[in-house]
Structure 1
Amino acid sequence: MTDPRTWLVTGASSGFGEAIARTALSRGDTVVGVARSAERLSALASGDSPGRFVPLVLDVLEAARFDVAERTVRDVVAEVGRLDVLVNNAGRTQIGALEETTEDEFRALFELHVVAPAALTRAALPVFREQGGGTVVQMSSVGGQVTMPGFGVYCATKAALELLTETLADEVPGVRFVVVEPGAFRTGLFGGGAPVLSRELPACRDTVGPTRRYVTTGGGTQPGDPARAAEAIWQVVTGDRAPLRLVLGPDAVEGIGARLDRLRAELDQWEELSRSTDLPDAATPAG
């Protein structure tokens, strides 16, 4: 039997974070759940896992600073003894064309979706190396590969986190990295007041308007079940092997599959021109 694990889950008060925390707790693990207030964590703190749920009040944007991230991980290990799984889950939806997005909105989303997870991952790696292993779960999105008008900045943050993590998988042997790419799941991401809606410009109404309507009216209609997603994540975290990218939901599978087909077709179509740019005397790479 595997010894109980210790999980650090950001954004643990709702959605995927809460579902992952509940799944881990139900298996006898310890969970350090992060949210911006203790009240947000009260449902988990009052559950039937006394002593195994540790609330941590922290605005994840603060952890975008490397020193804060390092102190946070250090304090977690001092409090619970070890860290086995880091789940970078905290996030939000932002809707707006690039022209509609303010500088503050743009920078804040990159801080939340890229810099903070990178800082926490960076802080956890020495712990995992010393322990001889660990797992980093990056909660991305189908938007890390598939774009939609109005989601450009959001998708850019997820794509950046995915490529950073793909590199880490080569840089840090012995640590398991899992990028989770969910499709439409019934979380609170589209709930009232949750999405950041950039100021609408008339010039973008026809392209971004349908996305705005989808986000502002589609909450509660998504087909995906967060509890089943959490179970799938549990399986790859605790199993003998895991994919680098875990795609969740039929819509995500179909959307990403179609994108890969388009990329292959475009590469093939332009291959002759692409290959024509070496110096005439350049050696052909072995292969």
Structure 2
Amino acid sequence: MNLKDQYSQPANFPPTGGTKGGLSVVKIGGNIVDNPSALADFLTDFHRLEGKKVLIHGGGVMATKMAEQLGIETKKVDGRRITDEETLKLVTMVYAGWINKNIVASLQKIGCNAIGLSGADANCIPSVRRNPEPIDFGFVGDPNPDAINTGFISQLIESDITPVFCAITHDENGSLLNTNADTVAYSLATALSKYYRTTLYYCFEKDGVLRDINDEQSLIPSINSKEYAELKSQEIIAGGMIPKLDNSFKAISEGVSEVVILHAKNLLNGKGTILM
């Protein structure tokens, strides 16, 4: 029996009613990860966040700096990294190694019993390597929420162990895959929403979705799907915010209770943009 089968349905899980209470799925980006003081403050708040939780982190800023130091060219298309074989080695060492274990050690220091994982561990997050047409992104994976090993992950959560996932998945054929951390967060939140009342938090360096990217006072407090379509057509929401919001509304349509986009410093007070 493999790990996925062994933990596919834990005993008495899910209980009658299909919910085990609330769960926070929280994603932080490289701008926080790469700032030791900001990261320490965020992890303290994360630990204080009530209830069960899962953390997902990126690390692209550090990976880009490391690539420069090692003479590995960083190639991107529309802001998305092209992951060749050497880049895959690099991002795996940075994401699944230094960043992941540093976060886990920092959480242990403040009393949060955490475990660091990649998508390959316990077959947690299988992915499909992205089609090379029309753009070959290399070793990049797209996870399927239905394939996520929710049984194993839920056993950790129910044992009061906080999973900390990096943005590395695998194809179940021996290859690791670089994966967008926002997409990992969406996939985990969607999969776990079958058993928990799930809130997905995207924490980054802005206070939320802004009408004017250069004006922090232009926060949009809430957006529904119709308003989102209008804001996109007016190009008020553009660039890197589009995939984040696309994932957010997809998560809501697939069972996630709420998505909040906010500055990492506001995790506890919830001030940001609520998507409905």
Q: Which has the higher helix share?
A: 1
TM-score between both structures, scaled by the size of structure 1: 0.31
Q: Which has the higher strand share?
A: 2
Larger-gyration structure (1/2):
1
TM-score between both structures, scaled by the size of structure 2: 0.32
Relative contact order (C-alpha < 8 Å, sep 6+): which is higher? 2
